[in-house]
Structure 1
Amino acid sequence: MPKSIHSTQPPLKFIPQRFNPLVLKMMSWCLPFVLRVRTRPWLPAGIVKIEAKDAEVLAKLYQEFQAGKIRFLIAFRHPEVEDPMSMLYLLSRILPKVAREKGISLQSPVHSHFMYERGMTLWAGKWLGWLFSRAGGVPIRRGRRVDRNAIQMARDLFANAKMPIAIAPEGGTNGHSGVVSPLEPGVAQLGFWCVEDLQKANREETVFIIPIAIKYSYVNPPWKKIDWLLSKLEADSGLPVAEISLTGKKQEEILYQRILHLAEYLISEMEEFYRRFYHQNLPEITTAITSEDTAKPNDVLITRLHRLMDTALQITEQYFNVQPQGNFIDRCRRLEEAGWNYIYRDDIADIKSLPPLKRGLADWVAEEADLKMQHMRIAESFVAVTANYILEKPTADRFAETTLLMFDMLSRIQESTLPGRPRLGLKQSMIIVGEPISVSERWKASQGNKQASRQGVSDLTKDLQVALEELIKD
């Protein structure tokens, strides 16, 4: 298991947004080059084509925003790490072009503030924090009960900034273009606060939330690369040669059986790992992969996977003394924050001034916390996995997404991690702009008491979830 943290670290300071139009111009100018470079063989597959549906709707909203008639928040899907590039391309390239074609007058820059997860700067480097800050980004620590700095800045920007703000309500990537993870209520709450702030300032702008979906697909179905990656995963896991009948079966059926076979093997190995070394009670469940009812073994595997995820999270929760509350995503967020509190020590004014004993203990705590968080990271990788994701649409895209999640798991466990995900093929991005959701109307209907307000936020979150799910349907 790789251990990237070996010593205690300084606290994670808040990075205030310092929007700089020159930095944005530089990013916009470099974007096509960055997209091309990411298609090089030694890097993960890049995006060679980005298109948008109903971009005119968003262009008109920007026109009304710039005229002082409305305020809005862009709530975008967050399936992959490439999403920031897709959104930047939409705002800097597609939207101005559509506006010109439709005779919609827009002022430059056509951009948005945005929120990003503070942990991104840990794996990417401090330069990303500098860049995002100058691009108008606001960092948030997802697991904190209340990240006051981030919330206050986002609330002020929503109500008063010269640009809209964009937020991914799922809170993080899930690796699935065809599945929307449960939404966090923060977007809806910010919408209600914005209406309140405008009311207090005697301003009449109408507040909207704009759902936007992002879907990725391969330009050419990478069946051979999927077969190659599956073979590699089978070899890396030490899986015996699968006894799968090839007679009369299509390519998709063969690959699906191999994925099931590999999934059962990996789950069995991890169950035994937790039984033997963490003394967990995990009764054995046999799965008949050769069953004629294809859905039956799949359902059993998902049940075992969820049980395994719960076990991994329980072990981490016990270590950090965190109570298991909410769904898998909620639990992962709280554990991430708990781990960071052990590693990035707010309670130590100067790490270098610590005596050797205390420094050694602090380093010990940080290293062990990082190791314990690996259990959570494995569970986090599979929060969007469902029983019928491939069966519903046995496309190369869904086969690739599932296989890459397995790759992520093995990479976290192996002694030496691979340099990023392997390249399976060139990808294209489709961005779909949804119908605006009026927050102002809902705010009026939810006035009266705190219970009504909470219910209003909950209802808005559910409706936003439905809107995003509708946008990704083919």
Structure 2
Amino acid sequence: MATAPPLEFLPPQLDGRVLAVSRLVLPLWLRWRCGIEAVEVEGMASLVEAMRSFQAGESRLLLAFRHPSLDDPLSMARLLWVDLARAGRQQGLRFDPAPTGQFLFDRGIPLWAGASMGWLFTRLGGASIQRSKLDLPALRTARRLLLEGPHPFALAPEGATNGHNERLTPLEPGAAQLAFWTAADLADAGRHERMDLVPIGLQYSFIAPAWGAIEALLCRLEEGAGLAPDPSHDLAPSRLLERLVHLGERMLEQMEAFYRDKVHLALSDADNPAGDPSREAATPAFGPRLQRLMDLALRRVEQSFGLHPCGSLTDRCRRLEQAGWDRLYPAEPASDPPPSPLAQALADRLADETAAQLWHMRVVESFVAVSGSYVRERPSQERFADTLLLLWDTQCRIQGHTANRRPRLGRRRARISIDTPIVVDERLADYRRDRRRAVQALTDDLSLRLERLIVPSPLA
């Protein structure tokens, strides 16, 4: 592949016509594209009052929502465009302008979903951000919109989808930092608005039993891993769990063999034990083996990019993504002359090698959320679906297929739960004394609030 121009910041260009059409299309898109046929909202009174206060000029508003699925932006749009507006009317409130939100979206989305998606997101009020570097244009835009924008600002403090309806990943400090910046800006300007941070939980559940579709997807994944599906097609959760464990072990063994024998990573004997491949993935050996394999795979790419391992696996994936983008979309000083044909050919060769190296990171990115305990702790159909879809993503990455369109396992219900706002102004004195500690404390509080909004799925 050839190098491309640098990735430019995509600023918000909110377009009322695009917003109006999107409002009309949203219910059909949720039903037919996402399979979401019902939306339940709890705690709507908190959001109605927060929006009333925002539009009355009494507060600024930051909505911090959980991000378990790629469908979350659509669920949030439904919450603001439909449910909030309806709830306001029921209380005799007519919001003007009609409720919507502005937001940040990952700059990588237009790269894998198409430029049209970047166009749509910006026309709906979104601004792009490169998550793994200090993206000053994005941060300045977010700060300006939080302080002066006509609409609430929304972001996902987890930073990316985690694939788990019932497990919260560690939050990034960006939401807390933006909230404190806004509170400080308001105070410094002598303005009297509050800075409200509203935690919003998102979960998805099946409306009808989906065990048949879950077992069918399990069969497809077993076939992809070279395993013979169970001819009995037993839908008992205990039997499905045994097969899921066996599948996880089989995929891990094949990946270990690939990296040990073909890529020549130094896997120790402890990371590749001989024995029965069907042993349970929740035993202590599975987690360390998986972590060790992913660590070594990332080290291979880091060495190629001249980076040192630092942070969690997710942090390292982000840094590698940014390093790859810097190679694929290099910024050339305007004063430099055009490259010679030979120099351009070498740059294109580097781009080819970079894309190949990033494949290893993408596989780790897909597999990093898989564990041996999530389903075992609570073998519900929702947790089975979460894990199988993550394994499906991983197999798609390995086989070179697109993972954009996941299998539909059944009609679903979105559950949106809204907590009472965190008044950030009350913490501003702590922030001025010790910014890092105050940001961490607010992040921890937000994490606790979002964790409490998670409702365990029912068992069969």
TM-score, with normalisation over the residues of structure 2? 0.93
Give the corresponding residue for 2:395: 410
Pair 198,296 (structure 1): closer, same or farther in 2 beyond 3 Å: closer
Give the corresponding residue for 1:119: 108
Give the corresponding residue for 2:56: 67
Q: Which of 75, 91, 106 pairs up with 2:95? A: 106
Q: Which of 77, 85, 88 pairs up with 2:66? A: 77
CA distance in 1, matches of 2:203, 2:403: 26
Pair 276,33 (structure 1): closer, same or farther in 2 beyond 3 Å: same
Indicate if the aligned counterparts of 2:158 and 2:169 stay in contact, CA closer than 8 A.
yes
| CA offsets 1:237-266 (integer angstroms, 9 cap, x no match) | 223567x9x8xx971111111111111111
Post-superposition offset of 1:447: 2.3
Equivalent AA in structure 2 for residue 176 of structure 1: H
Equivalent AA in structure 2 for residue 254 of structure 1: R
* Aligned 1:358-369 pairs, distance under 5 A: 358-369=343-354
Post-superposition offset of 1:51: 1.7
> SS where residue 18 of structure 1 aligns?
coil
Q: Which of 24, 37, 44 pairs up with 1:55? A: 44
Q: Which of 359, 382, 395 pairs up with 1:374? A: 359
CA distance in 2, matches of 1:313, 1:295: 22
Structure 1: stretches of 5+ with no match in the other structure: 1-5, 39-44
Give the corresponding residue for 1:199: 187
Pair 428,352 (structure 1): closer, same or farther in 2 beyond 3 Å: farther
> SS where residue 414 of structure 2 aligns?
strand
> SS where residue 334 of structure 1 aligns?
helix
Indicate whether 1:13 and 2:8 are aligned: yes
Give the corresponding residue for 2:253: 268
Q: Which of 436, 448, 452 pairs up with 1:454? A: 436
Post-superposition offset of 1:387: 3.4
> In percent, how many aligned pairs have the same letter?
41
CA distance in 1, matches of 2:257, 2:289: 12
Once the two structures are overlaid, the 10-residue window that deviates more, 421-430 or 205-214, is 421-430
Once the two structures are overlaid, the 10-residue window that deviates more, 202-211 or 231-240, is 231-240
Give the corresponding residue for 1:390: 375
Indicate if the aligned counterparts of 1:174 and 1:381 stay in contact, CA closer than 8 A.
no
CA distance in 2, matches of 1:412, 1:350: 40
* Aligned 1:129-208 pairs, distance under 5 A: 129-144=118-133, 146-208=134-196
Indicate if the aligned counterparts of 2:85 and 2:98 stay in contact, CA closer than 8 A.
no
Q: Which of 301, 310, 318 pairs up with 2:286? A: 301
Pair 385,233 (structure 1): closer, same or farther in 2 beyond 3 Å: closer
Indicate if the aligned counterparts of 2:180 and 2:431 stay in contact, CA closer than 8 A.
no
> SS where residue 147 of structure 2 aligns?
helix
Indicate whether 1:93 and 2:75 are aligned: no
| CA offsets 1:400-428 (integer angstroms, 9 cap, x no match) | 11111111111111145467222222222
Indicate if the aligned counterparts of 2:246 and 2:278 stay in contact, CA closer than 8 A.
no
Indicate if the aligned counterparts of 1:260 and 1:289 stay in contact, CA closer than 8 A.
no
| CA offsets 1:76-101 (integer angstroms, 9 cap, x no match) | 01111111110000001000111122
CA distance in 2, matches of 1:255, 1:113: 42
Give the corresponding residue for 1:425: 410
CA distance in 2, matches of 1:200, 1:368: 50
Indicate if the aligned counterparts of 2:245 and 2:372 stay in contact, CA closer than 8 A.
no
Pair 379,12 (structure 1): closer, same or farther in 2 beyond 3 Å: same
Post-superposition offset of 1:143: 0.8
> SS where residue 381 of structure 1 aligns?
helix
Indicate if the aligned counterparts of 1:114 and 1:167 stay in contact, CA closer than 8 A.
yes
Structure 2: stretches of 5+ with no match in the other structure: none
> SS where residue 204 of structure 2 aligns?
strand
Give the corresponding residue for 1:214: 202
Indicate if the aligned counterparts of 2:324 and 2:358 stay in contact, CA closer than 8 A.
yes
Q: Which of 329, 340, 351 pairs up with 2:325? A: 340
Equivalent AA in structure 2 for residue 120 of structure 1: I
Post-superposition offset of 1:108: 2.3
Equivalenced residues, count? 453
Give the corresponding residue for 1:41: none
Indicate if the aligned counterparts of 1:63 and 1:105 stay in contact, CA closer than 8 A.
no
Pair 80,352 (structure 1): closer, same or farther in 2 beyond 3 Å: farther
Indicate if the aligned counterparts of 1:21 and 1:109 stay in contact, CA closer than 8 A.
no
Indicate if the aligned counterparts of 2:282 and 2:373 stay in contact, CA closer than 8 A.
no
| CA offsets 1:152-207 (integer angstroms, 9 cap, x no match) | 00011111111110010111101111111111101111111111111221111111
Post-superposition offset of 1:105: 4.1
> SS where residue 307 of structure 2 aligns?
coil
CA distance in 1, matches of 2:328, 2:20: 36
Pair 453,315 (structure 1): closer, same or farther in 2 beyond 3 Å: same
Once the two structures are overlaid, the 10-residue window that deviates more, 162-171 or 412-421, is 412-421
**What RMSD over aligned residues (CA atoms) do the two structures have, in Å?**
2.3
Indicate if the aligned counterparts of 1:52 and 1:432 stay in contact, CA closer than 8 A.
yes
> SS where residue 158 of structure 1 aligns?
helix
